[in-house]
Amino acid sequence: MSAIKIRRLLVCLPLTLSLVLSGCSFFPNVVAPPSPTPAPPQTTAPPNPQWTISPAAGTGVPLPDFVSVVAKIKPSVVAINTEVTAVDIFNRPFTQEAAGSGWIIDKAGYVVTNNHVVEGATNITVTLDDGRTFPAKVAGTDSLADIAVIKIEAENLVQAKVGDSAALKVGEWVLAIGNSLNLGVTPSEGIVRSLGASVPVSGQTLYGLIGTSAPINPGNSGGPLVNMHGEVVGITTVKILAAGVEAMGWAISTETALPIIKGLIQKGYITRPWLGVELYTVDAFVVLRYNLAVDKGALVTGVAPGSPADKAGLKAGDVITGMSGKEMADAQDLVQAIHASNVGQEVELAFWRGQTKGIARATLIESPPPS
């Protein structure tokens, strides 16, 4: 019986009782006994005159000394300004300016920043904390990790101290410092919100990220995230831009970044295991467009001539759904699985070609230098 029906029955009961009693009025000597009045429930607790607030244990934890942290790291943080040639709707070229941040990792003039800060730049200028300005050249970039190293020819540089991001704990204080809004290098405080995060950005996924509540604004990209010892533990890279979302930014951990930075300085690019395919994640549109037999996996859109994929017989239009016994639900799964493998390792690829399932074996090789 529904609540509404129950409520209606309860409302009608007194009326029914009243009708029955009024119908019995022709028995003048019959008197209904009075109903006993129930005792009200006890709803209040007795007072306790002796109760007091318990005193806090100890003297409390003092707030972190942000002033000394900023003093340690700020001389190593730089503002980066770039010029990129773009075209308007009439295909006319024009110069577009942008700003970002970076930090000095070596007194020889190597500066770490994000790849997206300097990507496609025709002119790069670095401004130091002491006001000196220098032109910069790209030493190496890695778009997959969104890390770049640029170099300036300067003396008396202050090298940042790199900390251990693996020692961070959720809730720990951190500072993001950089060229926020291109208004000069300034700090913002926050805490570590998460560790080891993965965030999709511009069609790819960044891994091993530190989530932070420290405000990250345009211009902060490439700047350092530092612990309370003034040590760099991350490279600020991205934040969520959405209505009602506040203080959700991410930084690439130094644990992830340092091997890449080393490779960029030593070789100018990063070598990884390479299959030699261009990929697109299978979705509902792709399934309908190509009449696929599966609704998930990595669609091969291109195969590099002479690559391991080419030698294994893979072709454009194939859908890779597994690698070495593990399911590949999308293109990122496959890319991550390849990068987690070793150069020279043979992998088994399960794929669909039309309505037919096949198996291909490929030996991964070192990725070629960027063109």
Say whether 371 is catalytic.
no
- Three-state secondary-structure class, residue 302: strand
Catalytic residue among 142, 146, 318, 330: 146
Residue with tokens 């720990």: 172
Say whether 253 is catalytic.
no
Q: Of 109, 160, 103, which is closest to residue 135 (Cα–Cα)?
A: 109
Q: Of 267, 275, 278, which is closest to residue 365 (Cα–Cα)?
A: 275
**How far apart are alpha carbons 238 and 217 in whole angstroms?**
9
**How far apart are alpha carbons 266 and 260 in whole angstroms?**
10
- Three-state secondary-structure class, residue 286: helix
Q: What single DSSP character describes residue 162?
A: B
**How far apart are alpha carbons 59 and 41 in whole angstroms?**
45
Tokens (6 digits) for 199: 């965030």
Catalytic residue among 76, 180, 188, 221: 221
Pairing of strands 204-212, 186-201: antiparallel
Q: Which residues pair with 135 in a beta bridge?
A: 125
Say whether 180 is catalytic.
no
Catalytic residue among 116, 318, 330, 333: 116
Instruction: Specify whether the backbone of 250 is left (phi greater than 0), alpha (psi in -120 to 50) or beta.
Output: beta
Tokens (6 digits) for 296: 């998930």
- Tell me the catalytic residues: 116, 146, 221
